[in-house]
Structure 1
């Protein structure tokens, strides 16, 4: 049958931060983690929407231990403020928030929004929360970064990272999702080099029925695209609860292997229960990953207290 939410081990005593926790797969992950005893910190762009979602969970799970904090991944100031307020230790950082295939816009800091929110925002947040994750205390803490199967079409355009010269909404999305996987793998290599007690894992939800698919067509005011997305979501997509399974697998399975990539194992890796998978050839390019790391650190002014990975003797 495969791994399901019924297989989540007891999470009592563990604290999980989830970005984008107020809707879609983030909300489903919040619900199941709270159901199994975790303390969940919902990091949301909108406090109002976050509180509404939290109340929904509390009404279903009376013992739910959750709280909502403001964290806008499109603002480095908001990210730093959230990190400064978070004084407690955390066991899991679930980098889930994202935007998909929207018209070109920019974050508060002048980054192209998809690259800025999906990658740079999470790069900054992770670096600022490393101490909370406990690099040396052996708690089996981990960072789970949510990518997409679309990363397989992505390339990192270092000569135009912010898509200022040319913009295609799907190319920009694919770049940001490839950046997620490159980041997850490079973080794991640096954690291993530091002999840190933290793991980094990449996951993808397959094709899940969420509001994510509707934001681009809505912003473009394209009724045709919107109708097509609604049809695909109704016919092809799996539920948000199923889409959340790879996130929950990455967050809760004991002794999970760092530096791995997990997603649905069914039809075209779009549906089904989670399994370990291979990511694109580009995602394993260590030179690209290190260059992206350096550029991301420069752009965000977030510098990790981690050594560079040891060079490979052979590939």
Structure 2
């Protein structure tokens, strides 16, 4: 008889210090909450300090809140100066589905800037202070995406919300591929992992409720109770990386045919997400855009 994974496998984490980005809502909230309950010393990296403080109070334990806006490279660069010491695990969870095409303050297409370039820079800046694991939340949305290296910010190509999200997650998958390669080549004790939370309706919480996407969101919310993971189940693939003896570089997804709703399990990725040439090309692009490098 096979026993499904349970959050109880976290055990006692009171010796661990963990950063979770985007920890005020959705999967990030559920991830941080589970880790706090297991006794970990939590750093909630959030845009909204007031809401972050509220979440920290609800979680209890040794939980602190630190300002981080991944859509602003100045905020990303400031973040490491806002707390002292090392951490055991960095969980790059925060992400967005933008309602309209906009640019960040640094001139990046907002979805790509928030979901990939922000976490890329953050990880490069923090890697020397990470002792054990880097977990990047990707998505099976990458499987339908391609990355336009000739127009990475979609300034001339057609932009639409969900394709932009998928390509940002393909970027995360390729980044994870190259990150794992570099960590291994350097003999680093740090392992990197990629995850897919399944279909979690809360992931669309910051999509505009007006216009065409409002109708989509209405349908999504109506179907979510049947077809989608709740936020705790969405957090499970990330937590699985912490509890299970899986190889660095693994991609942990959902054990259902479509990867929508279910328990965490090792998963497969698209051929495009396994292209080491494109991974290196994307890495070099991200270095140029953010002005950061991985120093091991």
User: Hey, what's the Cα distance between the residues in 2 that align with 1:169 and 1:227?
Assistant: 16
Q: Tell me the equivalent position of 1:310.
A: none
Q: Give the CA deviation at 1:24.
A: 0.6
RMSD of aligned Cα (Å)? 1.4
Q: Which residue of 2 aligns with 1:22?
A: 24
Q: Distance in 2 between matches of 1:243 and 1:223?
A: 23
1:216 shift after superposition? 2.2
Residue 233 of structure 2 corresponds to which residue in structure 1?
A: 242
List gaps (5 residues or longer) in structure 2.
none
Runs of 4+ aligned structure 1 residues displaced above 6 Å come to none
Aligned partner of 1:313 in structure 2 is none
Contact persistence 2:98–2:110 (CA under 8 A): no
Q: Tell me the TM-score normalised to structure 1 length.
A: 0.89
Q: Residue deviations 1:247-285, cap 9 Å, x none?
A: 1112x2254311110011124111111111111110110
Q: How many pairs are equivalent? A: 293
CA contact (8 A) 1:106 1:113 kept: yes
Q: Does structure 2 conserve the Cα–Cα contact (< 8 Å) formed by 1:15 and 1:41? A: yes
Contact 1:103 1:219 in 2 (8 A): no
Query: In structure 2, what is the equivalent of residue 61 of structure 1?
Result: none
Q: Aligned partners of 1:117, 1:200: CA distance in 2, in Å?
A: 20
Question: In structure 2, do the counterparts of structure 1 residues 28 and 73 end up closer, same or farther at CA, with 3 Å as the change threshold?
Answer: same
CA distance in structure 1 between the aligned counterparts of 2:51 and 2:115, rounded to whole angstroms: 20
Preserved contact between residue 217 and residue 225 of structure 1 (Cα < 8 Å): no
Distance, in Å, in 2 between the alignment partners of 1:214 and 1:31 is 19
Secondary structure class of the residue paired with 2:166: helix
Q: What are the equivalent positions in structure 2 for 1:1-315 lying under 5 Å apart?
A: 1-58=3-60, 64-134=61-131, 141-166=132-157, 167-210=159-202, 212-218=203-209, 220=211, 222-250=213-241, 252-253=242-243, 255-306=245-296
Offset, 1:102: 2.4
Quickly say closer, same or farther: Cα 1:163–1:215, change in 2 above 3 A.
Answer: same
Q: Matched residues in 1 for 2:51 and 2:107: separation?
A: 25
Secondary structure (helix, strand or coil) at the match of 2:258 reads helix
SS at 1:160 equivalent: coil
Displacement, 1:6? 1.5
TM-score (norm 2): 0.95
Q: For the Cα contact (< 8 Å) 1:214–1:229, is it kept in 2?
A: no
CA separation in 1, counterparts of 2:98 and 2:106?
20
Task: Find the aligned partners of 2:214 and 2:81 in 1 and give their Cα distance.
Answer: 42
> Cα distance, 1:196 vs. partner?
0.6
Q: Deviations over 1:95-144 (max 9, x none)?
A: 0000025211111111001100000000000000011114xxxxxx0100
